[in-house]
Structure 1
Amino acid sequence: MTVQLVHSATRTTRDSHGLRYVPIVAFGLDLVLVTFSVFVAILGRESVSLPGAGSQLDVSATLEVAGPLLMLGWVATLLLMGSYRPQVFGAGLDEYKRVINGSLVAAAAVAVGCYLTEFDLARGFFVLCFVVGVPVLVAGRFLLRRSLQRARRRGTLQHRVLIAGTEGHVDEIASVLNRETWLGYRVIGALTPSNTTRDATASGVPLVGHSRSLAEVAIEADVDVVFLAGGAFDSSADMRRLAWDLEHEDIQVVIAPSVTDVAAERVSIRPVGGMPLIHLEKPRSREAVRRMKRTFDVVGSLALILAFSPVFALAAWKVWRNDGGPVLFRQSRVGRDGNSFSCLKFRTMVTNAEELLAKLHAAAGYEGGLFKMEDDPRVTKPGQWLRRFSVDELPQLFNVLRGDMSLVGPRPPLAHEVAQYDDDVARRLRVRPGMTGLWQVSGRSDLSWSEAIRLDLYYVDNWSMVQDLTILFRTFSAVFSSRGAY
């Protein structure tokens, strides 16, 4: 079994080794962007007039002396601040923080250096250089990250991962890594603390041994990362020995605690007595129903109703013209705390759609949860257009204004769906349902029922105003791409 794993790893060695060039590419990109910012500052210097800046400064001297020194010093500061460490690329805010902090340190160093050496640096040049440079560097890193994530989704530039822990924890970590392909972690095997004759875990992760041989197997398999899940070791001494055994190997050791679907804002690490204690804040479902969010919903819904009033008129005319039936479709949905309300939508189906539903359930083998089908025969011709761009959901802005719904939140469920909820899933009823949410910007109808529930529960437990604004921004992209809309 181990031999097969080694052979598989050998076939993918060249792919993962391409990751070592990512910091080099980032360094070259930053150098180009810093050079661009310096030249923009030099060219724009004469058009910027700052009090006390002086008008007779020699711009050519700035180009010949301050320009090259600033470029090299800026990039060197980014290097010293850890902006090119392999661990910062691909995910998280640490990469952007290091770029911004490094740029601020470089700016402070230039200002202090000019003061101490009495170098007469043009203030307009100095201000323009960093005002232009910092956003340009951040944008460059953003584009580099998007390119890296696209490559990882295609199966390239990935880390080979070995997971150690109990079988349940291994499957939990593996499911997250396999789901979030943009992270670039390819799980090639797992080790459990107990001996077993089976070849794989319940989710299909190959079993290659037990954790006492972890260092040996990791080296033989030429993995890039070892994930330590719950139950990997009996004591901290075993973990220290693993670190010693891998001290001279190019293998990262990552401790993966049993904390998933928790936003970074709710997690803090505080070392106490040599132990890195993970502090987990309480879920934020109560924050999601307070006055600030409600005020945002009222103001936002009013603004959107006014902005989309021509679309309202066009959609209503199209629906009425098609068959002369009702323009609006009212359906009972379950809202916050299990209270029912009448959810408004532009009608997109034939008038006897509910009568045909039972036949479609039987034909599709429906067993419960959210029922959606592509090419639903009940959908009218104007309904196809309304659904494609989610125009049919615009009347829900009046539900938001009335307080039944929110602009952002879990999908409003039907009563028979709620009847199937267990205690965990029922948590999604602690907040107002939303017109859009994580489920919509993450695939909409292409998502499975379990994945949609997972995203809704994540939203309820990790609510923040910034997350709401981000979801609203991503909604426009999801709607105009029509991904998962039917």
Structure 2
Amino acid sequence: MTKWTQITLSKIILFFSDFLSLFLPILLIFPLLNFFGAGHSYFPSEQSDEYIYIHLVMSLCCVSWFWLRLRHYTYRKPFWFELKEVIRTLIIFFIIELAIVALSKLYVSRTFWVFTWLIIFILFPTARVLMKKLLLKWGIYKKETIIIGDGERLREVYQALITESYLGFDIRYIVSPNLIINKKTGQVEVVSDNLDVISYLSLDKETVQFVLTLNDEDKLYAWLRYLAKNNCRSISVIPNVAGIPLYSTDMSLLFSHEMLFMRINNNLAKRSSRILKRTMDIFGSLSIITMLSPVLLYLYYTVKKDGGNAIYGHPRIGRNGKTFKCLKFRSMVVNSKEVLEELLANDPEARAEWEKDFKLKNDPRITKIGAFIRKTSLDELPQLFNVLKGEMSLVGPRPIVADELERYQDDVDYYLMAKPGMTGLWQVSGRNDVDYDTRVYFDSWYVKNWSLWNDIAILFKTVNVVLKRDGAY
């Protein structure tokens, strides 16, 4: 089977998988309701065929929209970006079908209709992910990829693409000035600048994905002309836009000019965004406190057994530089300050580690129950009350102490624009396993690119990180 055939087959399989995910729930709901003896009461049999026909047409229109308008079967999109488009599209067709049913005066039980779409909202994204993983395992969704670039940016792009395995990019070669690196064998070949890469590597220009990330504009234009002249179909350019907020940025073209017109949106500056984020914080924290109240009470009395306070508040810097007490379950011995001072005075390695990140991997101050609640992040549960009070948010930058502000340098303004979060990009991207500069980068990126969808994605990622206990100590 040729690579072109594999790619075409993967598109067809994804198309029909999505169609079945949309259409099958309406057929599954009938036997489910009949099993409970309520089928006819929920949906008169004489109207069932008409509604099935309407839903069939809507399902075909929806998958056609995914193919023709959103290009989900043609373009490779990162997981969370694609999921956002999937949910948004399903909501739109959910409303359209409701309007059609209402206008046609067709009797449809609200219970039947809601349950049908509830199954769709769960089944569709799940089936999409599982099908792509299956196609990747079979190898037919993988797309041979060539990265062409230079400088440190080339390394960053490579790391980003291999991290996004959902894209299905099978990186075969990296082409840099005078070098071609075979990622499968590790072999490095020295070549000339005027090399005909397509012929030299025997590439199928119909199926190969080219990714360009070049700092030199002349080289970038030369590569674009070369690939266009050779009728290469899949070309992506990753420009260096570091520092520019890209989420919710509107882009348009200026006619007859080779430039992008970008409108940068500062989402956290919008009152509506702040109200929306605060609403999610209130309802989210109240819900979690209610569900976890037995755990909170158990940990409170367990930590308090040694005679000290179960919860302590450590001064942290909040939004606009306001200091607040960040609540945590105490995980250290009562005389932790003295223990730390003695350790730093007598252990140069521990002192160097502390001065680097304000953390110790093997901290002698940690109690037995403290080690457990730190490893599982349960020590941070009292911060739910900080969130409820409005001092913190469920998602945001790391709550830092005053001494850390100077280490944020030019990015300190971004940190002070938002409330610190119980979780954030740092927590779901390695936590203590990443260096301090990367943590600062994550905090500034979060503020610059804030969106409610990003908060939702981070919350879901947090659950996975906590369960796996990645980078926690």
Q: Does 2:229 match 1:245? A: yes
| Secondary structure class of the residue paired with 1:431 | coil
How far off its partner does 1:428 sit? Answer: 2.0
Q: Which of 294, 297, 300 pairs up with 1:313?
A: 297
| Contact in 1 for aligned 2:173/2:181 (Cα 8 Å) | no
Q: How many angstroms apart in 2 are the aligned matches of 1:15 and 1:482? A: 40
Whether 1:332 aligns to 2:322 is no
**Alpha-carbon distance in 1 for matches of 2:311, 2:227:** 64
- Give the 5 Å matches for 1:130-141: 132=116, 136=120, 139-141=123-125
Moved more, 447-456 or 302-311: 302-311
- How many corresponding residue pairs? 451
Q: Distance in 1 between matches of 2:65 and 2:246?
A: 26
**1:346 maps to which residue?**
329
Within 2, Cα distance between the matches of 1:350 and 1:131? 52
Letter in 2 for 1:319: V
Matching of residue 471 in structure 1 with residue 455 in structure 2: no
Deviations 1:88-109 (A, max 9, x none): 566333862796499679969x
Corresponding residue number in structure 2 for 1:174: 158
The Cα shift of 1:342 comes to 3.2
Contact 2:393 2:420 in 1 (8 A): yes
CA displacement 1:200-239 (0-9 Å, x = unmatched): 9xxx996875776465368635582111224465299746
Is the deviation greater in 219-228 or in 383-392? Answer: 219-228
Residues 394-409 of structure 1 correspond to what in structure 2 (within 5 A)? 394-409=381-396
In structure 2, C-alpha distance between the alignment counterparts of 1:18 and 1:141, rounded to whole Å? 23
Rounded Cα–Cα distance in structure 2 between residues aligned with 1:128 and 1:373: 56
Map of 1:10 onto structure 2 = none
- CA change 1:423–1:210 in 2 (3 A) is farther
Deviation at 1:423, TM superposition (A): 1.3
Offset from partner CA, 1:151-191 (integer Å, 9 cap, x none): 87999954333233442443342342244344333544444
Instruction: Give, as a single letter, the amino acid of the residue that structure 2 aligns with 1:268.
Output: D
Q: Please say which of residues 312-321 and 363-372 is displaced more in the overlay.
A: 363-372
Which stretches in structure 2 are left out of the alignment for 5+ residues? 34-38
Letter in 2 for 1:422: Q
Matches within 5 A, 1:74-85: 74-75=59-60, 78-79=63-64, 82=67, 85=73
For the 8 Å contact 2:415–2:447, the answer to whether it is kept is: yes
Q: Indicate the residue corresponding to 2:398 in structure 1.
A: 411
User: Within the alignment, does 1:220 sit opposite 2:214 as a pair?
Assistant: no
1:118 is aligned to none
> Quick one: distance in 1 between partners of 2:472 and 2:241?
32
Matched residue type, 1:57 = E
Change (3 A) 1:207 1:351: farther
Alpha-carbon shift at residue 302 of structure 1 (Å): 5.6
- Describe how 1:317-396 pairs up with structure 2 within 5 A: 317-321=301-305, 323-354=306-337, 355-356=339-340, 358=344, 362-363=349-350, 366=353, 368-374=355-361, 376-396=363-383
Counterpart of 1:379 in 2: which secondary structure?
Answer: coil
Q: CA deviation at 1:340?
A: 3.7
**Counterpart check, 1:164 vs 2:121:** no
TM-score, normalised to structure 2, is 0.73
Residues 215 and 245 of structure 1 are in contact (CA less than 8 Å); yes or no, is this contact kept in structure 2?
no
Aligned identity (percent) is 27
The CA deviation at 1:306 is 5.6
Deviations 1:335-381 (A, max 9, x none): 33444443322111223434335266614852754344555443211
How far 1:74 moved relative to its partner?
4.3
Question: Cα distance 1:467–1:143, how it changes in 2: closer, same or farther (>3 A)?
Answer: same
Q: 1:325: how far off?
A: 2.8
Could you tell me which residue of structure 2 aligns to residue 266 of structure 1?
248
Code of the residue aligned with 2:17 in structure 1: it is L
Deviations 1:88-134 (A, max 9, x none): 566333862796499679969x98xx99xxxxx97549996897268
Distance of aligned partners of 1:178 and 1:466 in 2 relative to their CA distance in 1, 3 Å threshold = closer
In structure 2, the residue matched to 1:9 is none
Aligned twin of 1:23: 11
- Native 8 Å contact 2:210 2:234 kept in 1: yes
Please name the residue that 2:237 is paired with. Answer: 255
Instruction: Quote the residue 2:36 is aligned against.
Output: none
**Letter matched to residue 443 of structure 2:** D
Change (3 A) 1:304 1:137: closer
409-418 or 204-213: bigger deviation:
204-213
Consecutive unaligned residues in structure 1, runs of 5 or more: 1-12, 50-54, 116-120
8 Å contact from structure 2 (residues 312, 329) kept in 1: yes
TM-score, structure 1 normalization: 0.71
Which amino acid in 1 is paired with 2:252? Answer: R
Give, in angstroms, the shift of residue 279 of structure 1: 0.9
Q: 1:271/1:391 Cα in 2 relative to 1: closer, same or farther (>3 Å)?
A: same
Cα gap change, 1:416/1:362 in structure 2, threshold over 3 Å: closer, same or farther?
farther
Classify the secondary structure of the residue corresponding to 2:409.
coil
| Contact 1:345-1:394 within 8 A present in 2 as well | yes
